[in-house]
Amino acid sequence: MSSLLENTTAMSDPSTEEFVFSIPKSRMIIFSFLIALLIPSLLCSIYLFYQFIRVREIRRRDTNFIIICLVIVNFIQAILDIPLALVFLYFNRTASMTPIFCQWWSFISASLFGVSLWIMAVGSIERHFFIFHSASLKKYKVILRYIPLTCCFLFPVFFNIFLVFLFPCTNDFIYFIYWCGAPCYMKSPFWQVFSWFADLGIPMCILVIANIILTIRVLQQKHRMQQTRLWSKNARMFLQLISVACLYAICWIPFLVSGQINTYTNNQSPYAFMLFFEYFIYSPFLTTTLCPFVCLFGIWRDLAVVFHRPQISVRPIATIQTNRKTTVMNKN
């Protein structure tokens, strides 16, 4: 059994008095902070959906497809997952103290986080093709774009269905711990490590490495390229992705690193453990709430072009009728 679950179980011991008294204050801080971010985030997402539907050029631009997918996934997480976390933070217990609720909460949260990270990982690789191999991307669009993106949605969902609902084990949930502690598959060291790599670790590594390489190649291209117009187009595609990638890296790396430290470190400080379970465990929600604003920044140039496009108005031409006087000469 992993040390993380053992320490989680230890948190249920009422004798840990100092930890118990620290819970309400820390959780109310996180609760207030998430509420302050969630409402503007939902409004921003709705505005983006409106623009995606209204402006055909933004919707049909290939480089914006990853942005649209991220906005959709993060919006779903904002309306399904974050409210459950807010209930937990406010009441210091899960919204429903039943095993089936804990299973569904674990499944929804893990699946959406996995989908979001894999979309960013595949999008980071895809951006290399957009900038440096656009002809190959157009030629093999199905293989290089549609199939990988489809896998980004399907793999985390079916993988977590197996782990949460079909894995042969008995759950022992703790209803005043976030995520009800953890599903029982986490008791298996192999599946705990494998699920961490498959859902979180591998896509985050791809995201970081791909964007570091992309940054180096774009900077090298800047020195070689003479066509200012082409460089400006590539720079916009690069900045659109790198801003979202930086947000994901900043918000996810503390959670991933501290989680692994708590898992594999014996006799760690209780303050380090509390720091993870009371603060870092909520840091991925920053990507959910801040991603719409970063995505709006990424497509703002496209919106500005549409807003400042000269409007051609057709006005009806006024018809002026002239009365012609007809002089009738009566011949006598």
Q: What is residue 121's predicted lDDT score, i.e. its pLDDT?
A: 95
pLDDT at residue 229, rounded to an integer: 62
Residue 247 clears pLDDT 80, i.e. is over it? yes
Q: Are 120 and 248 in contact (CB under 8 A)?
A: yes
HSE-up (13 A, CA, CB side) for residue 9: 13
Whether 62 shows a pLDDT value over 80: the answer reads yes
For residue 49, what are the CA distances in angstroms to 23, 46, 54, 225, 297? 37, 5, 8, 36, 14
Task: Read off the pLDDT of residues 144-202 as tens digits, 9 standing for 90 and up.
Answer: 889 999 999 999 999 999 999 999 999 999 998 888 988 999 989 899 999 999 999 99
Which tokens in the block code for residue 297? 């920044």
pLDDT value at position 24?
62
Q: Between 239 and 262, where is the model more confident?
A: 239
What is the pLDDT at residue 73?
A: 96
The predicted pLDDT at position 15 comes to 41
pLDDT of residue 12: 45
| pLDDT beyond 80 at 259 | yes
175 contacts 94 by C-beta, under 8 angstroms: yes
Average of per-residue pLDDT across 245-272: 83
Which of the pair, 292 or 229, is modelled with greater confidence?
A: 292
In this prediction, residues 90-115 reach a mean pLDDT of 94
Whole-number Å distance between alpha carbons of 28 and 75: 23
Residue 142 DSSP one-character state: I
- The answer to whether 73 and 248 have CB atoms below 8 angstroms apart is no
Per-residue model confidence as pLDDT tens digits over 75-91 = 999 999 999 999 999 99
Does pLDDT of 246 surpass 60?
yes
39-48, 62-71, 123-132, 135-144: range with highest mean pLDDT: 39-48
Residues of the chain with pLDDT > 90, as a percent, come to: 50
Listed in sequence order, the residues at least 6 apart from 31 whose beta carbon sits closer than 8 Å to its beta carbon are: 86, 89, 90
Specify whether the CB–CB gap between 107 and 161 falls below 8 A: yes
CA distances to 12, 134, 203, 244, 328 from 298, in Å? 45, 20, 22, 8, 76
pTM confidence score = 0.83
- pLDDT confidence of residue 304: 66
**What tokens appear for 109 in the block?**
């949260």
Between 8-22, 100-114, 174-188, the lowest mean confidence (pLDDT) is in 8-22
pLDDT of residue 315: 54
